[in-house]
Structure 1
Amino acid sequence: MAISEFEVKRCEREMDKFLSAHRPPAHIRQEVDLAYRLDNQSVEIFEIRPDWKDSTEKIEIPIAKATYVKAKKEWKVYWQKSDMKWHRYEPCPTVKYLEEFLSVVGEDSFSCFFG
């Protein structure tokens, strides 16, 4: 089940705050940038870079994902390993609020999200 329109607006506001604090400086955003997408009940943060084979093409590199479980009123936290699959972030597998997820990603204590 998708999150409500009210929750979508709240997510967008929080994500915009996160990006404004973590995006690279404007002069290098053509080389590397951060973005997010909302898809049903999930929020995904990804990096945007030129493709190494064709610099006119852009590629997206997933960084972190949180999926809201409405029945439990919590967000499941994921990171993408080198096998290109999403895995639960074991140091903090769930959080109550999206802001907590963004804090975990921003701190990146175990270098799982930003390397």
Structure 2
Amino acid sequence: MTISEFELKRCTRALDQFLLAKRPLAHLRQQLDIGYRISGQSVELFESRAHPRDPAQRLESGLAKAVYVKKDQLWKIYWSRADMKWARYDPHPTVRQFSDFIELVVEDVHGCFFG
């Protein structure tokens, strides 16, 4: 089951505000950028870089992920480890509001999302 249309709009609005604040300057985005994708009940923030040998290709690495659990009405939070596998964000594994997820990523108190 996917995220409801209402929740999807709320997520998109929060994500667009996040990108306005966190994306690199326009002239740097060819080398490094930040984006997001929404798939099913999952929202993933990722970093996109130019491939070192072929700048026309892009390499993506995950930054943060939130998965909506409808029956519990909460978001589970994950971060991408160095081995590129998603791990539960133990300092704060769940939040009730998507905006709280964005706030945790921005604050990045434990250096899990942006290092």
Partner of 2:35: 35
Q: Kindly state the Cα deviation for residue 53 of structure 1 after the two structures are TM-superposed.
A: 2.8
Query: Which residues in structure 2 correspond to 1:21-100 (within 5 Å)?
Result: 21-100=21-100
Q: Tell me which residue corresponds to 2:106.
A: 106
Deviation of 1:51 after TM superposition, in Å, equals 1.1
Structure 2's unaligned 5+ residue stretches are none
Pairwise CA distance, 1:59: 1.2
| Local SS of the residue matching 2:61 | strand
Partner of 2:16: 16
Q: Percent identity?
A: 52
Cα RMSD after superposing both structures: 0.9
Count of residue pairs brought into register by the alignment: 115
- The CA deviation string for residues 56-112 of structure 1, in whole angstroms up to 9 with x for no partner, is 101111100000001111000000111221100001100011100000000111111
Structure 1 residue runs of 4+, over 4 Å off? none
TM-score by structure 2 length? 0.96
Separation (CA, whole Å) in 2 of partners of 1:53 and 1:61: 17
Output the TM-score relative to the length of structure 1.
0.96
Which consecutive residues of structure 1, in runs of 5 or more, have no partner in the other structure? none
Deviation at 1:8, TM superposition (A): 1.2
Give 1:32 shift. 0.6
1:26-50 Cα offsets, whole Å, 9 max, x none, are: 1211111110000001100001100
